[in-house]
Structure 1
Amino acid sequence: MVRTERLTLAGLPLLAQVPERPKALLLALHGLQGSKEGILSLLPGYAERGFLLLAFDAPRHGEREGPPPSAKSPRYVEEVYRVALAFKEEARSVAEEAKERFGLPLFLAGGSLGAFVVHLLLSEGLRPRAALAFIGSGFPMKLPKGQVVEDPEVKALYQAPPATRGEAYGGVPLLHLHGTKDLIVPLERMEKTVEALRPHYPEGRLARFLEEGAGHTITPLMARVGLAFLEHWLGG
């Protein structure tokens, strides 16, 4: 039996899917224009297999004061990565408080921008048992024509992307799941991420899964493969 609850962690409202006998925590981070409800709806079966799912809205998303960054804004890139940087800090605080409250091993999953946040967290020393990066990468987006980055923290993401700091990931098991027809986060950017990280990973702890014909969406097949990966590392 799985129940849905609203709770507060690190001062933030969260949505939780709570199994009868939870074995682990899974903090799920949504993408740009997404929401806590949206990311949880894309991970069916996880709670039934013992994962206590936690999700909260990123800054400027969902229940929080918005709107999300718009591609029409001349500062779009900076706005997107300001959201990502704030989302990362909040996710760290939520993860730490959740581990303390529930006393369960922590896992991470992120979709699109949320996957980039997963990379930020790993590159800054957060140590979940394992992590999923759906339809995302450890490199920031290519700058749209005419846009410049002036914000120093966002500039730093372009000068030293998370994926170039693979030694800081600590070998945390990480699975990238991607569609071959993704036009938002091109497949090459995910492949570049895995290539950059591989020298810093022991055999078997860094993996990729490609779904032929899939675009920029977390598909049911990706969700099932991700669940199997997490279960492997929960038992390992």
Structure 2
Amino acid sequence: MGTERLELAGLPVLAQIPPRPKALLLALHGLQGSKEHILSLLPGYLEAGFLLLASDAPRHGERPGPPPSAKDPFYVESVYQVALGFAEEALGVAEEAQRRFGLPLFLAGGSLGAFVVHLLLAQGFRPRAALAFIGSGFPMKLPQGQRVRDPRVQALYQHPPALRGEAYGGVPLLHLHGTEDLIVPLARMEETLKALRPHYPEGRLARFVEEGAGHTITPLMARMGRAFLEGWLEGGLAPGGA
């Protein structure tokens, strides 16, 4: 098992490759994170046969930056401009990875990366299953005094991914959250599930809540997420019943 640097869809991608990979897992980091950081939070996935892939979001990691700053009066707009760019790039990475490796694809994201997971599902992207760690399918509430000028970001507020559940195609989705998350309150995650539930068949939309956990992907969350993905890799049906 080893770590390699690849180029996929014109982007530098960090890949952790097991000897006999069973599936691809594209991991999307959060705001002010990096490809290296998100992979460090997913222990055991490589040993379970997942070929892990991660790239840096726009303005993050080795990309030209810096990340959005809360001191910027257009901070929220900047955050979701990053999210929109990250979603577009992730789609390109996923498609090229599938062509190169010929393996089923799974998706995982943490915090802002979880929002990007929702954004991709709402756009019709169809991984075998997905994990949303410490995130929501709704954009953050605008702080007092913040403004949004970009019409693409305005559209995220007018039509959040979580309110487009019919477009998710029943892709198996597990939300993992902590009771003490002060960045993305637990209620925002619950609001997401409430909005999606009418569009999901039984057994494909799930939640795991860790008592006392804050805004971090804990080892327990990582283990629960891995078990969920393994279930859909080994015994579950692909989205659409294929």
TM-score normalised according to structure 1 size:
0.99
State the distance in 2 between where 1:196 and 1:136 align.
14
> 2:198 corresponds to which letter in structure 1?
P
Instruction: Quote the residue 1:233 is aligned against.
Output: 232
Instruction: Quote the residue 2:58 is aligned against.
Output: 59
> 1:60 corresponds to which letter in structure 2?
R
Instruction: Quote the residue 2:203 is aligned against.
Output: 204
Matched, 1:8 2:7: yes
- Partner secondary structure for residue 158 of structure 1: helix
Moved over 2 A (4+): none
Instruction: Quote the residue 2:134 is aligned against.
Output: 135
The alpha-carbon deviation at position 150 of structure 1 amounts to: 1.5
- Partner secondary structure for residue 49 of structure 1: coil
Instruction: Quote the residue 1:110 is aligned against.
Output: 109
> 1:56 corresponds to which letter in structure 2?
S
State the distance in 1 between where 2:163 and 2:149 align.
21
State the distance in 2 between where 1:88 and 1:138 align.
13
The alpha-carbon deviation at position 233 of structure 1 amounts to: 0.1
State the distance in 2 between where 1:136 and 1:182 align.
10
State the distance in 2 between where 1:51 and 1:31 align.
21
- Partner secondary structure for residue 47 of structure 2: helix
> 2:205 corresponds to which letter in structure 1?
L
Instruction: Quote the residue 2:83 is aligned against.
Output: 84
> 1:184 corresponds to which letter in structure 2?
I
- Partner secondary structure for residue 27 of structure 1: strand
Amino-acid identity (%): 83
Deviations 1:187-232 (A, max 9, x none): 0100000000000000000000000000000000000000000000
State the distance in 2 between where 1:24 and 1:85 align.
26
Matched, 1:43 2:42: yes
Structure 2 regions of 5+ residues with no counterpart? 237-242
Aligned residue pairs, count: 235
The alpha-carbon deviation at position 104 of structure 1 amounts to: 0.1
State the distance in 2 between where 1:83 and 1:220 align.
27
1:96-175 map, 5 Å: 96-175=95-174
> 1:5 corresponds to which letter in structure 2?
E
Instruction: Quote the residue 2:32 is aligned against.
Output: 33
